[in-house]
Amino acid sequence: MRFTALALLFTLPMLRADEGMWTFDNIPVQQIKAKYGVELDAAWLKRLQLATLRFPGGTGAFVSRDGLVVTNHHVGRGAIAQVSSAKTDLVKDGFAAANRDQELKIPGLELMMLVSMEDLTAQVNGAVPKGTADKDALTMRRNALADLRKAEEAKTGLTCEPVTLYQGGEYWLYRYKKFNDVRLVAAPEVQVAAFGGDPDNYTYPRHDLDFSLFRVYERGQPYQPQAFLRFQPKGVAMGELTFISGHPGTTFRQQTHAQMVYARDVGIPFQLRSLARQKAALLVLSATSPEARRIAAEAIYGIENGTKRLSGQLLGLAKAENLRKVEEAEAVLKAAVAKDPDLKFRVGESWDHVARAVARQQALLKETAFEGTGRVALLGHALTLVRLPEEEGKPSALRLTEFSEGNLKATKARLLSPRPMQKPVEAALLAAGLQEAKDEFGAEHPFVKAMLGSGSPEAVAKAAVEGTKLDDPAVRKQLAEGGKAALEASTDPMILLARKLDPFNRAIRKRMEDEVTSVFSEHGGRIAEARFKVFGKALYPDATFTLRLGYGPVATYANGTGTLAQPFTTFMGMYDRHLGWGGNAAAAEDGAWTLPQRWLDRQGKLDLTTPFNFIYACDTVGGNSGSPVVNAKGEFVGINFDSVFEGQGGYYVYDADTKRAVATDARAILEALRKIMDADQLVAELIGK
């Protein structure tokens, strides 16, 4: 076994360069010390943990003793849009509160701070008797986690979330403090925050002032955080070691070779086609009026961002050498399993089980994609309401997972969230989804006939969205509290549509869980057992939108242009790119490189040599948007906002040569706040003066 373990160390893509999104219970402190001479102690790590916040879809951080929080503009964009209007478009025009009385409360925005974590693997696996079928084992583990969650929330008053790591190899409970009084403090114009638009997205060099500032309040007063990250006005230098703390969303590096081939050949191409249809529908809506363009902008941005990210992933999977690495690593691990009688009995056939489940996943792909709520929040709320009384009437162990006693509180909280929805956007997305189902299934498919009847996708979507009152959280609350009688009496068209959807969704969900998800969970966990036996915890788990630490230096790379990428860009470079595209008069690529007028008027006030963006070798993916980048002292030197296109294959296979993240430099934020946004008081707060 010793030789096999050594071979695996050089074959599995796990410990090369500065790879890794490490959970805070398992930071490779000795590895970091040996390579960089930097020693991270428990106090340093705890401070970074408590200073880092989870935003919906991204990350942020406390950066002052008075609860000031920084995140990306694109992470905060939805919140900024919430407090905007056709007359006062803060996304377009920017915002800076002159004092705290002017800070704008964001309805429904909740931030989460990780307080502690607990490994519950033994308790969860102990709830599954030996010999239990995979489909039943999945339910038993979920119910065990839900019960533990409920008990812990009752005991601590914290928000608790179950977390599955290592493809089912470990089960944890993460405890969070939740903040729900969050106010907008400052944000630049979107044209500067997302300078270059979609054409520049996932590229480098970049010139994006991608930040926004919020403040957390508690009991009407600015929250005093236990830990915060002070801005370092001197920034960071080429080659200097950096650390990133954030919530990477999802990676797939521990999937089997069969799963990655499916993603390359079937899964990702299917997603790209679906996103293209959704974008087309939203562009049609956007063209109807300036106000439609404003309210559709965030959804279009999200789809464009997802499309480019998936395209990069596909490019990475299409590289023969990448999947060859996975296949070779899998072969070596299989050989190690074959030499160990216990592992052979437990894990020997797991890869075959997963491969068969992948075939079922492909067979069920269309039903899984279309017989659900998609991106339509109103339909999601309606389906939750339709199911609520029925599920509450069952024993907890027999309910759908989100309605079990342990998870019910969180489900109801999501249902009653006051975050607003844009009905025109909802209607466009619902119509697009129904049209896609009709095109893919055919008009005579039972699901299509049930959902559309004799109507067109556009007519059905329009009637459901325009007629529903579920956009009002008070209405949702009334229906939820009214129970079965209220739901049965409801004539809300979105409720009626959800009733039609419910049986189809339940059926495909059960098939997926029985034939696919449960197999991935059980046998992914067994494969993880084999890795643990060989390596211990010298591995990091795939990303799960939970708190992780990454590390690496500011570093260049060969970006395919025949030269090396510059480690830093400057304000001078932004203006050069603006002028190189003909300035505001040209408005090429829908104005991607235009600049707001005040940025032209005040150009002479700026120190144009100020570093703007930089690239660095921390291992990041989506969800790390808004993550603080800190130096060895734990000082804030930048905010992560992107990674390079060439490195998007890192969702599946890490490549040290191309995996580079992109950050907005702390110095650029301070310079813009001083010289453009007239926010000297925020600069003083950020640097502690």
pLDDT tens digits for range 8-59: 333 443 444 699 999 999 999 999 999 999 999 999 999 999 999 999 999 9
Residue 101 has pLDDT above 80, yes or no: yes
Answer for the pair 637, 631: CB distance below 8 angstroms, yes or no.
yes
pLDDT tens track for 369-419? 999 999 999 999 999 999 999 999 999 989 999 999 989 999 999 999 988
DSSP-derived secondary structure for 133-192: -HHHHHHHHHHHHHHHHHHHHHHH-SEEEEEEEGGGTEEEEEEEEEE--EEEEEE--HHH
pTM: 0.89
What is the C-alpha to C-alpha distance for residues 656 and 16, in angstroms, rounded to an integer? Answer: 7
Which residues are 244's β-sheet partners? Answer: 550, 629
pLDDT tens track for 317-356? 999 999 999 999 999 899 999 999 999 999 999 999 999 9
Residue 443 has pLDDT above 90, yes or no: yes
Measured CA to CA in angstroms, residue 344 lies from 7, 211, 243, 328, 333 at distances of: 19, 51, 39, 19, 11
Residue 589 has pLDDT above 60, yes or no: no
Query: Residue type at 138?
Result: L
Q: How many CB atoms lie within 10 A of CB 585?
A: 6
Quick one: pLDDT at residue 13? 38
Quick one: pLDDT at residue 15? 42
Six-digit token string for 659? 């995996």
**Counting runs of H as helices and runs of E as strands, what totals does the chain give?**
30, 19
Coil/strand/helix, residue 549: strand
| CATH number reported for the structural domain that contains residue 652 in this entry | 2.40.10.120
What is the C-alpha to C-alpha distance for residues 648 and 314, in angstroms, rounded to an integer? Answer: 8
Residue 70 has pLDDT above 70, yes or no: yes
Alpha helices in 266-319 (DSSP H): 268-286, 290-318
Which residues are 551's β-sheet partners? Answer: 243
pLDDT tens track for 117-143? 999 999 999 999 988 998 899 899 999
Six-digit token string for 236? 């960071």
Coil/strand/helix, residue 663: strand
What is the C-alpha to C-alpha distance for residues 180 and 160, in angstroms, rounded to an integer? Answer: 16
pLDDT tens track for 168-217? 889 999 999 999 999 999 999 999 999 999 999 999 999 999 999 999 99
The pLDDT of 65-86, averaged and rounded, is 96
Phi and psi (nearest 5°) for 554? -60, 125
Phi and psi (nearest 5°) for 657? -75, -25
Quick one: pLDDT at residue 420? 87
Tokens 């307080």, located at residue: 115
Answer for the pair 402, 476: CB distance below 8 angstroms, yes or no.
no
Quick one: pLDDT at residue 587? 66
Coil/strand/helix, residue 290: helix
Coil/strand/helix, residue 243: strand
How confident is residue 689, by pLDDT bands cut at 50, 70 and 90? low
Answer for the pair 242, 618: CB distance below 8 angstroms, yes or no.
yes
User: Residues 654-673, buried b or exposed e (16+ Cβ, 10 A)?
Assistant: bbbebbbbbbbbbbbbbbbb
Quick one: pLDDT at residue 56? 95
Phi-psi sector, 114: left (phi>0), alpha (psi -120 to 50), beta? beta
Coil/strand/helix, residue 219: coil
Q: How many CB atoms lie within 10 A of CB 675?
A: 19
Please give the angle made by the CA atoms of 280, 249 and 259, to the nearest 5 degrees. Answer: 80
pLDDT tens track for 229-244? 999 999 999 999 999 9
Strand order in the sheet with 661-665: 22-23, 548-553, 241-246, 628-630, 636-643, 661-665, 611-616, 568-570
Six-digit token string for 652? 């599946």
* Structural domain includes residue 659: yes
State which residues form the domain around 204.
2-110+180-252+541-687
Quick one: pLDDT at residue 339? 93
Q: Are strands 221-222 and 212-218 parallel, antiparallel or unpaired?
A: antiparallel
Quick one: pLDDT at residue 532? 85
Rg (the chain; Cα; Å): 25
Answer for the pair 468, 492: CB distance below 8 angstroms, yes or no.
yes
DSSP-derived secondary structure for 445-482: SHHHHHHHTTS-HHHHHHHHHHH--TTSHHHHHHHHHH
Residue 586 has pLDDT above 80, yes or no: no
Quick one: pLDDT at residue 1? 34
Quick one: pLDDT at residue 536? 73
* Structural domain includes residue 100: yes
* Structural domain includes residue 51: yes
Coil/strand/helix, residue 579: helix
Q: Which residues 6+ apart lie within 8 Å of 422 measured at CB? A: 295, 296, 299
User: How many distinct structural domains can be found in the chain?
Assistant: 1
Q: Which residues 6+ apart lie within 8 Å of 636 measured at CB? A: 61, 63, 70, 229, 230, 231, 232, 628, 629, 630, 666
Six-digit token string for 73? 């503009």
Cα dihedral 624, 630, 631, 633, rounded to 10, equals -140
Quick one: pLDDT at residue 585? 86
Q: Which residue has the higher pLDDT, 305 or 66?
A: 66
Answer for the pair 613, 45: CB distance below 8 angstroms, yes or no.
no
Query: Does residue 424 have a cis bond before it (omega within 30 degrees)?
Result: no
Six-digit token string for 645? 């296109």
* Structural domain includes residue 386: no
* Structural domain includes residue 624: yes
What is the C-alpha to C-alpha distance for residues 628 and 620, in angstroms, rounded to an integer? Answer: 12
Residue 588 has pLDDT above 80, yes or no: no
User: Residues 33-48, buried b or exposed e (16+ Cβ, 10 A)?
Assistant: eeeeeeebeeebbebb
What is the C-alpha to C-alpha distance for residues 461 and 313, in angstroms, rounded to an integer? Answer: 33
Quick one: pLDDT at residue 2? 37
What is the C-alpha to C-alpha distance for residues 336 and 417, in angstroms, rounded to an integer? Answer: 50
- Chain mean position to CA 16: 25
pLDDT tens track for 487-522? 999 999 999 999 999 999 999 999 999 999 999 999
Quick one: pLDDT at residue 10? 39
Average pLDDT across the chain, whole number? 93
What is the C-alpha to C-alpha distance for residues 25 and 174, in angstroms, rounded to an integer? Answer: 11
Nearest by Cα to 373 from 505, 508, 514: 505
Answer for the pair 143, 397: CB distance below 8 angstroms, yes or no.
yes
* Structural domain includes residue 337: no
How confident is residue 5, by pLDDT bands cut at 50, 70 and 90? very low
pLDDT tens track for 524-574? 999 988 988 877 778 899 999 999 999 999 999 988 778 899 999 999 999
Quick one: pLDDT at residue 419? 86
* Structural domain includes residue 385: no
What is the C-alpha to C-alpha distance for residues 246 and 83, in angstroms, rounded to an integer? Answer: 26
What is the C-alpha to C-alpha distance for residues 463 and 434, in angstroms, rounded to an integer? Answer: 13
Q: Which residue has the higher pLDDT, 263 or 538?
A: 263
Six-digit token string for 660? 């580079």
Six-digit token string for 335? 């050989």
The pLDDT of 573-592, averaged and rounded, is 86
What is the C-alpha to C-alpha distance for residues 26 and 172, in angstroms, rounded to an integer? Answer: 13
Quick one: pLDDT at residue 112? 98
* Structural domain includes residue 584: yes
